[in-house]
Amino acid sequence: MDVTDLNAWTDRVRQRVDTLMSGFEDRFGYPPGDNRVVSATRPGGVALRDALGVRAPAAVVEFFDAIEEVSLPDVWNGYFLGPVDWVLAAYSGREPGLIELDGVQHEVLVVGADGGGALYCVVLGEHPLVVRLDQVTIRDGIARTPPGFTQELAPDFAGFLEALAIAIEASVEGAHAPAF
């Protein structure tokens, strides 16, 4: 995903959130929180490259070079990506550092969370798929979830962003958004 695509993604998400915020309090009976997609004022990907070196997924670096954070507490159950300082704190604290998929441990980078405690993680390595860990416990840096609570969301970060945009659109349109 290049910067042009990220600009289009940002515009798409902001437009949907603006639609949701219009008349929000009348529909839900309480004022909305601070729902925003914040453009980066400084390239956050530099810090990721410094911390992870060549293991830093290029698409994640590019994302945080352009976008500081996504904070959508009132969309579905809440969607949050970044900021980079939070991502790096989770990485350096190994919260988690590893997950197990099909009996194999993989190093991960937590890039976000939902409002219910699930984590969005990018697998570091040749195939940077994105997974959602729900009902996760972390011991010795290794994430553990009950059977069926690790969900592969996308084969890469660009696919994850597209799936997230679709989930946001579904939520704004009042559809029952899938667990994402």
- 37-94 pLDDT, tens per residue? 999 999 999 999 999 999 999 999 999 999 999 999 999 889 999 999 999 999 999 9
Question: How confident is the model at residue 176, as a pLDDT?
Answer: 66
Helices in 67-110 by DSSP H: which ranges?
A: 84-92
pLDDT in tens, 113-125: 999 999 999 999 9
> Is 0.85 topped by the overall pTM?
yes
Burial of 51 from C-beta contacts in 10 A (0-12 / 13-18 / 19+): middle
Give the pair of three-digit tokens for residue 66: 């352009």
Rounded to an integer, the average pLDDT of 29-34 is 96
Number of H helices, E strands in the chain: 6, 10
d(Cα 44, Cα 74) in Å, to the nearest integer?
25
Question: How confident is the model at residue 102, as a pLDDT?
Answer: 80
User: Is 60 exceeded by the pLDDT of residue 3?
Assistant: no
- Which residue, among 152, 37, 133, has the nearest Cα to 90 in the 3D structure? 133
d(Cα 98, Cα 153) in Å, to the nearest integer?
17
3-state helix, strand, coil split of the chain in percent (to 5) is 40, 25, 35
Question: How confident is the model at residue 112, as a pLDDT?
Answer: 98
* Mean model confidence pLDDT for the chain: 92
CATH architecture of 3-172: 3-Layer(aba) Sandwich (3.40)
Domain boundaries, the chain: 3-172
pLDDT in tens, 98-109: 998 888 899 999
Task: Label each residue of 157-176 as H, E or C.
Answer: HHHHHHHHHHHHHHHHCCCC
**Cβ-contact 137, 100 below 8 angstroms:** no
Q: 173 or 31: which carries more pLDDT confidence?
A: 31
